[in-house]
Amino acid sequence: MFDYVCLATITNSIFQLVNLDDRHGFVMNTIKLVPVIDLKHGVVVHAKEGRREQYQPIKSILTPYSDIYSVLHGFLNLHSFDTFYIADLDAITNGDNHANLIRQVLNDFSEITFWIDAGYQKSQTFPQNYFPVLGSECFNADNLCELANFKNRFVLSLDYGSNGEMLGAKKLFTQIELWSENVIVMTLNRVGSSQGVNVDLLEHFKQKHSEKNFIAAGGVRDIEDIKQLKASGIKHVLLASALHSGKITKTDFAKF
């Protein structure tokens, strides 16, 4: 049975929603691309189909190096992105973490907003340009109530595993009072693949919860996928492989 104390806390937080604006990468009139940086053992890696143990240092046409600063500069030379997504894979998998490195990056790029997925996170005073990503895979029935403590200053990620299964607390996929206004639909089995975006899954969520802003994550191959997502009403897309491979180029950004 759902904890009524938790419910009261969640209900109270609904009336204290943070007014998210462009500084956090949300308010916009067109589709916005958010580059993803996956950190593992101190370097940026190529995420592929959720098989984290097999991830290797990134190979990119944007930079010959795999350190986070080189990758960031490579992305910024491609386009003037104002928002990035960083996944601390070591933190997510309960190993070491890149907290000190990420803190330094946020300080050095203070004008850029970073959505940070660092596994299980507790509400705290974050840097102004740090926006926590809270993934379902890091939550269970016992700690779901903690989401209310963030008072909507977070991005929820509904995580689907390498076999398409729901990861983490199953309640989180249907209990919308726990959701943030902005919700990532993370299809790990399509990340770094050539399968394309799971448009049907996104459409399922959009039809059931049209008041939410759903963010596509996993499977973007090229500009045609971006056009399809834009036509379906998606306003944010997470991607990496299509940028590193050159499938989406500098000239493409003028098209959306």
Query: In angstroms, rounded to a whole number, what is the distance separating the alpha carbons of residues 159 and 31?
Result: 22
Tokens found for residue 134: 């809270």
For residue 159, the enclosing domain spans: 4-255
Strands (DSSP E) contained in the chain are 32-40, 43-46, 56-57, 83-88, 113-117, 130-135, 155-160, 182-187, 213-217, 236-239
User: Average pLDDT, whole number, for the chain?
Assistant: 88
User: Is the pLDDT assigned to residue 134 strictly greater than 80?
Assistant: yes
| Between residues 248 and 163, the one the model is more confident about | 248
Give the chain's domain count: 1
The percent of residues above 70 in pLDDT, for the chain, comes to 88
User: Is the pLDDT assigned to residue 253 strictly greater than 80?
Assistant: yes
Look at residue 167 in the predicted model and tell me its pLDDT. 95
| Between residues 67 and 4, the one the model is more confident about | 67
Write down the number of H helices and E strands in the chain: 7, 10
Tell me the H-state helices in 147-245. Answer: 199-208, 223-231, 241-244
- Which residues make Cβ contacts (< 8 Å) with residue 55, sequence separation at least 6? 38, 40, 45, 46, 47, 48, 89
User: Is the pLDDT assigned to residue 71 strictly greater than 70?
Assistant: yes
Query: In angstroms, rounded to a whole number, what is the distance separating the alpha carbons of residues 249 and 251?
Result: 5
User: Is the pLDDT assigned to residue 109 strictly greater than 60?
Assistant: yes
Query: In angstroms, rounded to a whole number, what is the distance separating the alpha carbons of residues 36 and 59?
Result: 14
| Between residues 129 and 3, the one the model is more confident about | 129
Look at residue 25 in the predicted model and tell me its pLDDT. 56
Tokens found for residue 55: 């991830």
Look at residue 51 in the predicted model and tell me its pLDDT. 75
| Between residues 6 and 253, the one the model is more confident about | 253
The percent of residues above 90 in pLDDT, for the chain, comes to 75
Look at residue 163 in the predicted model and tell me its pLDDT. 86
Which residue is it, tokens 């056009």? 227
Look at residue 15 in the predicted model and tell me its pLDDT. 33
Compute CA distances 47 → 41, 97, 167, 177, 191, whole Å: 13, 17, 17, 31, 7
Query: In angstroms, rounded to a whole number, what is the distance separating the alpha carbons of residues 174 and 156?
Result: 13
Confidence of residue 53 (pLDDT cuts 50, 70, 90): confident
Look at residue 29 in the predicted model and tell me its pLDDT. 53
Tell me the H-state helices in the chain. Answer: 4-14, 68-78, 89-92, 99-108, 199-208, 223-231, 241-244
Angle (CA) 124-128-131 rounded to 5° is 65
Q: Coil, strand or helix: which one is 40? A: strand
Tokens found for residue 27: 């308010």
Question: Is this prediction's pTM over 0.85?
Answer: yes
Kindly state the average pLDDT of the residues 56-79.
Answer: 97
CATH number at residue 210: 3.20.20.70
| Between residues 255 and 240, the one the model is more confident about | 240
Look at residue 8 in the predicted model and tell me its pLDDT. 44
Look at residue 210 in the predicted model and tell me its pLDDT. 94
**Is-contact 33 239, C-beta < 8 A?**
yes
Q: What is the pLDDT of residues 14-25, one digit of tens each?
A: 333 333 445 455
Look at residue 54 in the predicted model and tell me its pLDDT. 78
Query: In angstroms, rounded to a whole number, what is the distance separating the alpha carbons of residues 2 and 203?
Result: 28
| Between residues 226 and 18, the one the model is more confident about | 226
Look at residue 55 in the predicted model and tell me its pLDDT. 83
**Is-contact 85 35, C-beta < 8 A?**
yes
**Is-contact 146 117, C-beta < 8 A?**
no
Q: What is the pLDDT of residues 190-223, one digit of tens each?
A: 988 878 999 999 999 999 999 999 999 999 999 9
